[in-house]
Amino acid sequence: MLECALHMTDDVSVIQKDDNSPESLLRIYEVGYHIIPTVKEEDIEGVVASIRTVIEKAGGSFIAEGAPVLMKLSYAMTAREGDKNVQYDRGYFGWIKFESSVEASETLNEALKADRTILRHIIFRTVREETRARMKIPTLREVRRTDVIKPAPHHVEDTSIAVSEVDLDKAIETLTTD
């Protein structure tokens, strides 16, 4: 009985310890970012590495990652460069899914805000599982821009048969007599 009670108290303490341990406060986050298009192609890796370093230093671990790809934005975004505003209509879009504490995500947010090469970023809570849809979205029709639509060749079959004038006259006569 005493042993059982001890076990019970042990269990409770274990649960309480779990709730307060830093491991239990780890959450899954995803960061999406746009790097300004003026950054050279070879320097992109360095910018991503700096983001990864911030996460790693704060005790985060990586789950998945999408490499930055240059894409056209739906609207122009303004970034402060020196003492003037510059508008960009393109950006290198990349994302990282990671597991970390709340504090680490806040640290990353501050680091990205201060980074001048980051045009815009977003950090939000997500789930560990893959969230991308694996389906192909149905489209009405697929026409490649390079394709040239050629009109179908118009076949006219030559059905005319040589008819003699005598036969023609006879046919007309039969028609008129009727």
Where does this chain bind another protein (CB under 8 A)?
A: 32, 34, 66, 73-75, 77, 91, 93, 95, 120, 122, 124, 126-127, 129, 131-135, 137
CB of 158: closest distance to another protein in angstroms? 50
CB of 144: closest distance to another protein in angstroms? 17
Q: What share of the chain is helix, strand, coil (3-state, %, to 5)?
A: 35, 30, 30
CB of 30: closest distance to another protein in angstroms? 9
- Identity of the residue, 125 or 170, whose beta carbon is nearer to another protein in the bound complex: 125
| Cα 110 from Cα 78, distance rounded (Å) | 19
| Cα 22 from Cα 99, distance rounded (Å) | 12
- Identity of the residue, 134 or 154, whose beta carbon is nearer to another protein in the bound complex: 134
- Identity of the residue, 8 or 76, whose beta carbon is nearer to another protein in the bound complex: 76
CB of 137: closest distance to another protein in angstroms? 4
- Identity of the residue, 32 or 59, whose beta carbon is nearer to another protein in the bound complex: 32
CB of 135: closest distance to another protein in angstroms? 4
The residues, ordered by sequence, that sit 6+ positions from 125 with a Cβ below 8 Å of its Cβ are 27, 28, 29
| Cα 138 from Cα 149, distance rounded (Å) | 22
**Residue 145: phi, psi to the nearest 5?**
-65, -25
Chain centroid to CA 40: 22
- Identity of the residue, 137 or 143, whose beta carbon is nearer to another protein in the bound complex: 137
